[in-house]
Amino acid sequence: MKKFFPIAFAAAMAMTLTAFVGPSSAAYPVNSCVAKKMGAAGKFCASVLGAWSKNADDSVARDAAITKAATKLDGSWTKSETSAAKKNVDCADTTASSADMRVSVEAAAAALAATVLDGVTGDKADTGCRAKINKAAAKLCQGLLKAEGKHIKALIKDKDGTALAAAVAKAEAKFTKLYDKSVAKALGKGVTCPSTTDGSAIQSAATAASDEVVTDTTVSPNVATDWTTISVPLGYVEYPAKYPKAMTTLYPTCSRLTPYRYYAKRGTTNNLLVYYFGGGACWDNLSCNVAQTFAQAVDESYDPATGSTGFTDFSDPSNPFADWNVVLIPYCTGDIHWGDAFGGYGGGGGVYHHGRHNASLVEKYAREHFVNPDRVFVTGSSAGAYGAIMNSVPLMEFVYPASHFDVLADAGVGVADLTWQATYFPNWGVAKTVPDYVPGLDGPVESMTMSNTWANIANHYPDHRFGQYSTAYDFIQSQFFRAMGNPGDPLTWTAWWDTACDWNTEAMTILGDTEVAVTGDNFRYYVGAGTQHTIWFGDKIFHDTHGGVPTLASWIGNMLDDDPAWANETCTDCNMISVCSGGDNSGQACSSDLDCPGGGTCSADPAPAGVESAFPGYPVVDCPAP
């Protein structure tokens, strides 16, 4: 798995291949398609139950009616998919096929009908009562799926599900009324109907059938449960997104016009993890073409199938995302996933800062395969931390407005040299991509601060949670801070230890200012010991408690659970540490490989090249008093 060397907090203007659109309440094409399919499945469910109601004792007539209804279902499926395809959305890949839907709905409806008919005496009143109950169940099944379809089509208008709940309650009330009326009429004729079940059981069965349809049309069964690589040939991609600053014409590419690719896997829940990789940053000829301080292509080292540590270990019971759907967004554009520009920089063929193009492409994939998650966790490491922060906004506002969000930045605090920011920030074209419809994000990008950015987003979305992780003396963040302070002198950039203490002071100030500026109770930070950069792919995420902090896995668990124990955490002893990587003691403290049996190695925090003022000797960090 790739090691990630990111960061430079930035943004601005430049050449674009983007078409911007204004806000719209129109449903995204895949949502419209799914809504139509849900409605068609509801009609089919009603037809199957209706066939049982009319032809309980005539299997030939019943099967003929069901076959006729299945033909209509197939036609509706095809029509919906064709309509979506005209808008460059593959709705066929979003849902189960009509053939699979026929099988599952017919089986559920037939089982429900058989339950109602079980024990029928042959008495006319009994038979008639049961037929009416099946008819009522048919209306219930159709009503439930009609309600779900309306909700999916209008997520922005029904963010809290109030309209959905009301429609479901209405459908259930109608069923109860018809059921009670049918039973009472039969009782008036001296018949107990039905004798083997009751209305609540039938209602539960109809709800289960509806839920199965919802799952099969909103969580794509066509996404493999193993990691899948989605390769993207060079060329334009039309993305029919309709929200402010949405890119409707994408040109996904890595920095040097090499093809882009990303990764996905399906879990067993309706939750979605969105992860942005890190990989450095560049902003001029020196950083982009000479020092090349960023990942320039998506190579095999990004492949999550090659990793089995940290949160890529889906077998670890401590991993809160083990059963989630996942999309992973590689990084190869040098622009912290925000870019929409081309930088000539005087050589090397130029740099395509198309980070937002690539992020939008994966956003398109996600919303067309995981249509309405219950929960979304957006995160990223290093440069990807900034991608998670800013790109989570359209996800929350427009893509998944009915989902609950948690957003975590891993090793991207946002310490920046202000002169560097004013000079180089515009090179990435981020002024065109920053979601300035969020109050407070509409100012000049050259003067943005991370604390204000975090606070404005957290305050605008008070029902969602936001978190920041970093080690106290992160050597890569310190290194980029040093590079920003000495942009023309690359020979000094590697001496991160000369900047680590200043970086720490600035980082703690940013975190403290953010906490003050957030008016709600939905932002927390976690500062661990040492100098390591990023933690997402490390085993220490499950075990490390150096400096008196809880494990990051438990801290994230509290974040997910809205537990009062989710609090700001800062190491009390923040000196450098060594932990086992792999083996029987993975994540545990060590002094040598002997402490890491079972094939593990003792991995030490990055240390200075020599004995320096703030680092008199490993593992001590001795910053001068402010």
CATH number at residue 452: 3.40.50
CA distance to 123, 146, 189, 252, per residue, from 82 (Å): 49, 21, 52, 25
Across the range 268-283, mean pLDDT stands at 97
Domain interval for residue 370: 242-514+528-548
In a domain, 55, yes or no: yes
Measure the CA–CA gap between 61 and 115, rounded to whole angstroms: 20
* The pLDDT of residue 246 is above 70: yes
Q: Which of 78-92, 111-125, 319-333 has the least mean pLDDT? A: 111-125
| Residue 499: predicted pLDDT | 93
* The pLDDT of residue 22 is above 80: no
pLDDT in tens, 594-618: 999 998 899 899 998 876 668 877 7
> Count of domains in the chain?
2
The residue among 158, 186, 218 that closes a domain is 218
pLDDT in tens, 186-229: 999 988 887 667 899 999 999 999 999 999 999 999 999 999 99
Q: Which of 534, 410, 504, 389 is nearest to 456 (CA)?
A: 389
Higher model confidence: residue 196 or residue 9? 196
In a domain, 135, yes or no: yes
| Residue 348: predicted pLDDT | 72
Q: What confidence tier does 5 reach under pLDDT thresholds 50, 70, 90?
A: very low
Handedness of CA 561, 563, 568, 573 (dihedral sign): negative
Residues 152 and 293 in one domain: no
Across the range 535-540, mean pLDDT stands at 88
In a domain, 80, yes or no: yes
Give this prediction's pTM: 0.94
Across the range 340-360, mean pLDDT stands at 93
Across the range 455-459, mean pLDDT stands at 98
Residues 60 and 189 in one domain: yes
Measure the CA–CA gap between 220 and 360, rounded to whole angstroms: 19
| Residue 205: predicted pLDDT | 93
Handedness of CA 496, 501, 504, 509 (dihedral sign): negative
| Residue 587: predicted pLDDT | 81
* The pLDDT of residue 442 is above 60: yes
* The pLDDT of residue 6 is above 80: no
pLDDT in tens, 401-418: 999 999 999 999 999 999
Residues 336 and 189 in one domain: no
* The pLDDT of residue 12 is above 60: no
In a domain, 20, yes or no: no
Q: Pairing relation of β-strands 341-343 and 325-329?
A: unpaired
Report phi then psi at 301, rounded to 5.
-70, -15
| Residue 356: predicted pLDDT | 98
Strand, helix or coil for residue 369: helix
pLDDT in tens, 416-432: 999 999 999 999 999 99
Beta carbons of 621 and 605 less than 8 angstroms apart: no
pLDDT in tens, 49-99: 999 999 988 999 999 999 999 999 999 999 999 999 999 999 999 999 999
Count the alpha carbons within 13 Å of 88 in the hemisphere toward its beta carbon.
12
Q: What confidence tier does 626 reach under pLDDT thresholds 50, 70, 90?
A: confident
Beta carbons of 484 and 420 less than 8 angstroms apart: yes
Both structure tokens of 131: 């037929």
Residues 170 and 260 in one domain: no
Q: What confidence tier does 7 reach under pLDDT thresholds 50, 70, 90?
A: very low
Residues 502 and 412 in one domain: yes
List helix spans (H) across 461-519. 475-485, 500-517
Residues 181 and 279 in one domain: no
Residues 449 and 543 in one domain: yes
DSSP 8-class letter at 303: -
| Residue 307: predicted pLDDT | 77
In a domain, 159, yes or no: yes
Report phi then psi at 298, rounded to 5.
-95, 100
Residues 172 and 309 in one domain: no
In a domain, 96, yes or no: yes
In a domain, 10, yes or no: no
The H or E element that residue 408 is part of is strand 404-410
Residues 184 and 248 in one domain: no
DSSP string across 45-98: HHHHHHHHHH-TT-HHHHHHHHHHHHHHHHHHHHHHHHHHHTTT--HHHHS--H
Residues 308 and 203 in one domain: no
In a domain, 320, yes or no: yes
Cα angle for residues 65, 69, 70 (degrees, 5° grid):
115
The whole-chain average pLDDT of the chain stands at 92
The H or E element that residue 260 is part of is strand 260-265
* The pLDDT of residue 130 is above 80: yes
Q: Pairing relation of β-strands 601-604 and 578-581?
A: antiparallel
Count the alpha carbons within 13 Å of 180 in the hemisphere toward its beta carbon.
7
Long-range contact set of residues 128-132: C-beta below 8 Å, sequence gap at least 24: 128/186, 129/182, 129/183, 129/185, 129/186, 129/191, 129/193, 129/194, 130/56, 130/193, 130/194, 131/53, 131/54, 131/56, 132/53, 132/178, 132/181, 132/182
Residues 149 and 57 in one domain: yes
| Residue 612: predicted pLDDT | 65
Residues 167 and 280 in one domain: no
Q: How many residues does the chain have?
A: 626
